[in-house]
Amino acid sequence: METVQQKKRVLAIDIARGISVILMMMIHTMLIYGSIPTQTNTVLGEIILWLGRGTTMFLVSMGISFVLSRRQTFAAVCKRALYILAVGYGMNFLKFLVPEFIFGGLPEAFVSAYGLKSGTLETGIFFLLLGDILQLAGITLFIMGLINHYSKSKYVPLIIALIIISVSKELSGFRVGIAGLDYICDLLFSNQFNVYFPVFPWSAFILIGMFLGRWYKELNENQEVFFKKMLFVGLLFIAVGGLLNFSNPEYHFGDYYHLGPGGSILLLGANLVLYWFINIIVHLFKENNSVFNVLIFCSKHVTSLYVIQWVLINWGMYVLGFWQHDQWFVLSLFPVVIASSIGIQLVYNVIRVLLKAKWDNKNNNELIVNS
């Protein structure tokens, strides 16, 4: 019975994370190709704006998955963190610098949106160092590794997450005025768009996931009890966050990428309720169906798909332009971007398997010869 519960719990987490991957593809397509009126004054633009709030399920699920992972040693966690950071900056190189070399510069409209000029060293460095979810994930993994090394209490990541949420807005934009160190400060506290997901407050979402993962294990991996408790915590967070947002909406939720305490708590609560709802959906349908299989595939390959879809979308600017299209054109791009990203992932998987088989075969032949 315990094995079945664990399987269903993992399925619910995978489905939620898979949904967040699909939503991210749609949101990024809208952000790059939709005109400003399309993004702000159309039904599709409003829908995508609100769907974007649900993509943070990806962050919560990262924390839960961390607790359930076999790679729990501090050295293993640090190694994974460095890998994620390398992938993040490698993605920036592929997204921005490679097409700049190939096409002779980034699209002028795109660069101008950041207040920069195409083809300059300053612009190249800016985009290479752009902070995104992968930078956040890498840094937060170091924090989780430290927590895991020194404490097994489920309340430690929860308390740290709540402290981060509480102080983030006050620390937002903090810098020391020293080149290099200011970039580190930006990764932690940025209030500008050189870092979209600063550690304060966004690491709190991952740490809440770590708290939930530890709670789940304390409950002997009882799926039914776990998701009910997640629902109650989510509703409590929604109530507290809603009150704070009502008191000062601009401070708490005025800037989605640099949230205040109320915005973070409200968004966390909404995501926890979404997890509960997705778990209900999982129980209503057969596990082995095509939709679930696609979502599980996306969840399993979340990091590489994140890189693939961003590179694909950014390179597409050279063909389709930046901020130029209406909602119907953007809507037609959604299935194209999703199918293309998954298709490239499938091809990559096949190539990786073939290369591994070739490498293993070579090593086996060398062992036979040497023996």
Asked whether the beta carbons of 8 and 216 are under 8 A apart, the reply is no
CA–CA dist 305, 23 (Å, integer): 12
Other CB atoms closer than 10 Å to residue 148's CB: what's the count? 19
State residue 370's pLDDT score.
59
State residue 9's pLDDT score.
47
- Residue-wise pLDDT for 333-357, tens only, equals 999 999 999 999 999 999 999 988 8
CA–CA dist 88, 304 (Å, integer): 10
Peptide bond just before 201 cis, omega within 30 deg: yes
State residue 101's pLDDT score.
84
CA–CA dist 238, 263 (Å, integer): 10
Asked whether the beta carbons of 134 and 84 are under 8 A apart, the reply is yes
Other CB atoms closer than 10 Å to residue 121's CB: what's the count? 7
Query: HEC profile for 318-354?
Result: HHHCCCCECHHHHHHHHHHHHHHHHHHHHHHHHHHHH
State residue 8's pLDDT score.
42
Asked whether the beta carbons of 185 and 174 are under 8 A apart, the reply is yes
CA–CA dist 198, 133 (Å, integer): 9
Residues, the chain, total?
371
Asked whether the beta carbons of 97 and 128 are under 8 A apart, the reply is yes
- Helices (H), ranges, 114-154: 121-128, 133-150
CA–CA dist 363, 140 (Å, integer): 37
pTM of the model: 0.91
CA–CA dist 189, 168 (Å, integer): 7
Asked whether the beta carbons of 84 and 137 are under 8 A apart, the reply is yes
Beta-strand ranges (E) seen in 203-353 are none
State residue 52's pLDDT score.
80
CA–CA dist 207, 228 (Å, integer): 20
State residue 365's pLDDT score.
64
CA–CA dist 193, 24 (Å, integer): 18
CA 129 to chain centre: 17
| Cα angle, residue 189 at apex, residues 154 and 183 outer, rounded to 5° | 120
State residue 120's pLDDT score.
86
Per-residue tens of pLDDT for the chain, all 371 residues: 333 334 444 688 899 999 999 999 999 999 999 999 999 999 999 999 888 877 788 899 999 989 988 878 899 999 999 999 999 999 999 999 998 888 888 888 899 989 898 878 899 999 999 999 999 999 999 999 999 999 999 999 999 999 999 999 999 999 999 988 999 999 999 999 899 999 999 999 999 999 999 999 999 888 889 999 999 999 999 999 999 999 999 999 888 888 899 999 999 999 999 999 999 998 888 777 889 999 999 999 999 999 999 999 999 999 999 999 999 999 999 999 999 999 999 999 999 999 888 776 766 666 565 55
State residue 371's pLDDT score.
57
Q: At what angle do helices 2-33 and 223-247 cross, to 10 degrees?
A: 30
CA distances from 284 to 279, 287, 316 (A): 9, 9, 39
For tokens 């040693």, the residue is 73
